[in-house]
Structure 1
């Protein structure tokens, strides 16, 4: 393994880069500056929307690669280079299925804000941690607009079961679906995942997957980890993820991503 080859590094956010208290590792922005000085592009690959990722990195988002909504929107150094929208009728149908056939709550991920069902306002604090722009409708099946993802919030923590019993059988053939945590399932257009996001950024940079590194913990990271040569799981990865990454690092609480970033920075000096 030659860390000197790495030109693009991307990390998942929740349970990977962020602590369980949703905080960044100490002095993380210093690492961003150090990587930039070395000519290494850093990226965030997240189920979170673009506007939230920009809010989290107000001083740096113009220099970052941002793979938002699991790849539904891709921004490179402050410019959107790709967005893949879902048909309005498709979104409305997904809302109906989620509401009628699961114990989950539908959330439409619009490009400028997320939209939830008015009766689900009691989960506003949970939603806003991830979706900083948030609106509500009395009837979510009446929504119209631009959206690149439908997400399902499962307060009961049964995301994996609902995915296997309802969402994968119903939508898995026509759409890109992924469990992104114990209480979240994401549905995107076909072919949309973090791996394709990495390839899109690589094309912008003129580099290959052999020059890429990525970090993740859960199943919406699988394609990204399979795409890059230097694939890492943090120690707290979800059971079943072992097959998707070559390397391991410390947990999110132990700042495992930063442990490897420091190795990369040292290798380039």
Structure 2
């Protein structure tokens, strides 16, 4: 019996306009609550951005945000997984050495930080995933605990950048090029799969009672923590290979329709 549903957001639960079918979600989520099934949004987006995205529809859902480095529920931080300050500053040096024009987003426990020189266009890109954004002249000014680093590269060189950073910090951090233009760095062993395992332990739910959905490279781990793992049809090949099943695309409400069908079966 399914007790936990975990889904990535961008490219999986959300359509290509970054939204979702509110009416269908309300219908499915209400039925999930009646059956005692917990809904989890697991995403690179900032938790507060996810809260705004769901608005009044988000009551009772768990958010594993900031690339699963933070756990929130109903506005309260349940757990955070910080990354060593020295490693963060060293990683920033390596990124800037690769290309100083890349957009670096340093996520801390209180906000996401960007350099004050960021262009308006890039700032708007950042605001698409981060609700609370602060500009600083230097990332060393940040006093809050570091949670993760995200890099956005308009030229799509995230794989090259990952290999560059790994030459110095491999084995000390978790780094993934989730898409061609996006790269995430978190504390070692902090990623979607491990954080979901921690939530499963907290809720007393097993992998056999879990259903998961994803599309990107950073969702491969989500396919390993659930017996019922689904890649949406628009997913990357590695995620499709790791998944037990393929479902409809993010443009076809694949996640919600699949949850609905699975609930009907049980």
CA distance in 1, matches of 2:206, 2:216: 24
State which of 62, 66, 69 in structure 1 corresponds to 2:66: 69
Structure 1 residues 79, 250: CA separation in 2 closer, same or farther (over 3 Å shift)? same
CA distance in 1, matches of 2:57, 2:110: 20
With the length of structure 2 as denominator, give the TM-score of the two structures. Answer: 0.92
Q: Which residue of the partner structure matches residue 118 of structure 1? A: 116
User: Quick check: 2:220–2:239 contact (8 Å CA) kept in 1?
Assistant: yes
User: Quick check: 1:233–1:247 contact (8 Å CA) kept in 2?
Assistant: yes
For 1:8-47, list aligned pairs within 5 A: 8-27=4-23, 28-47=25-44
Q: For structure 1, list consecutive stretches of 5 or more residues without a partner in the other structure.
A: none
Structure 1 residues 127, 261: CA separation in 2 closer, same or farther (over 3 Å shift)? same
CA distance in 2, matches of 1:172, 1:8: 33
State which of 73, 94, 97 in structure 2 corresponds to 1:97: 94
- State yes or no: 1:217 paired with 2:212: no
1:86 deviation in Å?
A: 1.8
CA distance in 2, matches of 1:46, 1:216: 10
Q: Which residue of the partner structure matches residue 191 of structure 2? A: 193
Structure 1 residues 199, 76: CA separation in 2 closer, same or farther (over 3 Å shift)? farther
CA distance in 2, matches of 1:172, 1:225: 24
With the length of structure 1 as denominator, give the TM-score of the two structures. Answer: 0.91
1:36 deviation in Å?
A: 0.9
CA distance in 1, matches of 2:141, 2:90: 10
Q: Which residue of the partner structure matches residue 56 of structure 2? A: 59
Mean Cα displacement is larger for which, 19-28 or 165-174? 165-174
Secondary structure at the counterpart of residue 240 of structure 1: helix
Structure 1 residues 265, 78: CA separation in 2 closer, same or farther (over 3 Å shift)? farther
CA distance in 2, matches of 1:182, 1:252: 19
Q: For structure 2, list consecutive stretches of 5 or more residues without a partner in the other structure.
A: none
- State yes or no: 1:161 paired with 2:157: no
1:89 deviation in Å?
A: 2.5
Secondary structure at the counterpart of residue 32 of structure 2: helix
* Paired residue total: 263
Q: Which residue of the partner structure matches residue 176 of structure 1? A: 174
Secondary structure at the counterpart of residue 105 of structure 2: strand
State which of 62, 84, 88 in structure 1 corresponds to 2:85: 88
- State yes or no: 1:136 paired with 2:135: yes
Secondary structure at the counterpart of residue 117 of structure 2: helix
Structure 1 residues 187, 157: CA separation in 2 closer, same or farther (over 3 Å shift)? same
CA distance in 2, matches of 1:130, 1:234: 21
Mean Cα displacement is larger for which, 127-136 or 139-148? 139-148
CA distance in 1, matches of 2:22, 2:139: 40
CA distance in 2, matches of 1:25, 1:167: 39
1:142 deviation in Å?
A: 3.6
User: Quick check: 2:7–2:41 contact (8 Å CA) kept in 1?
Assistant: yes
Superposition RMSD in Å: 1.7
CA distance in 2, matches of 1:263, 1:142: 50
1:16 deviation in Å?
A: 0.5
Mean Cα displacement is larger for which, 17-26 or 154-163? 154-163
